[in-house]
Chain A
């Protein structure tokens, strides 16, 4: 079974530029999460989707971050404009059913903002 796919693996941008990350969850997984992991910290939830609907985006900095999962399958997370403090690993995860169960993570996108 294929795992969660993310791209790109690494990205370096200058502050105030925009960037987009892509995620394709495990086939059949209704729930998709985006997490931000800053060095030395645990993953922090940015947004949770169930199919193509948003379940929780309370911690998403909506002035600069946006995410969509239009067809209920793959998802895109965008940052515009980026700040230095956005440097982190962006992890996509998916789970079967409505969430609250085991989540499977992709390898992440390591973003460096300079």
Chain B
């Protein structure tokens, strides 16, 4: 079983749509959780951290379910500029490296 699993997509949605990405992780001791965004042929950049209480940043909402070892990202009112690959990331413990999923590709069309 892979450490961090994501549906690779692609997700093709029209502008204005709401889209949700899911991610599961295998290590129940995982401590930190993030969503990174990677544009085509660019480096990954932090989109948002994911907290146990859930968190929202504008049109983006991240949720964490530790019992189910599940992380989600919801994007509301999709924009063309949201087209990218979204990477689910976990760390096992403080001081350790970020473990990346394969990424989910989103394509928003007009």
Contact = CB atoms under 8 A, between A and B. Distances in A.
A98 B94 contact: yes
B102 A41 contact: yes
B44 interface: yes
A42 B101 contact: yes
B43 A107 contact: yes
Contacts of A107: 42-43
Given A41-B102, A42-B103, A99 B44 contact: no
Interface string B39-54: 0001111100100000
Interface in B75-102: 87, 91, 93-102
Contact of A100 (B8, B42, B94): B94
The residue among A40, A98, A101, A107 with the most chain B CB atoms within 10 A of its own CB is: A101
A43 B95 contact: no
Interface in A30-88: 33, 35, 40-45, 48, 50, 55-56
Contacts, number: 61
A104 B34 CA distance: 13
The residue among B49, B96, B99 with the most chain A CB atoms within 10 A of its own CB is: B96
A44 B34 contact: no
Interface of A: 33, 35, 40-45, 48, 50, 55-56, 91, 93, 98-108
27 contacts: A35-B100, A40-B102, A41-B102, A42-B100, A43-B44, A43-B87, A43-B100, A44-B100, A45-B97, A55-B96, A55-B97, A56-B96, A56-B97, A98-B94, A98-B95, A100-B31, A100-B93, A100-B94, A100-B95, A102-B46, A105-B43, A105-B44, A105-B45, A106-B43, A107-B42, A107-B43, A108-B43
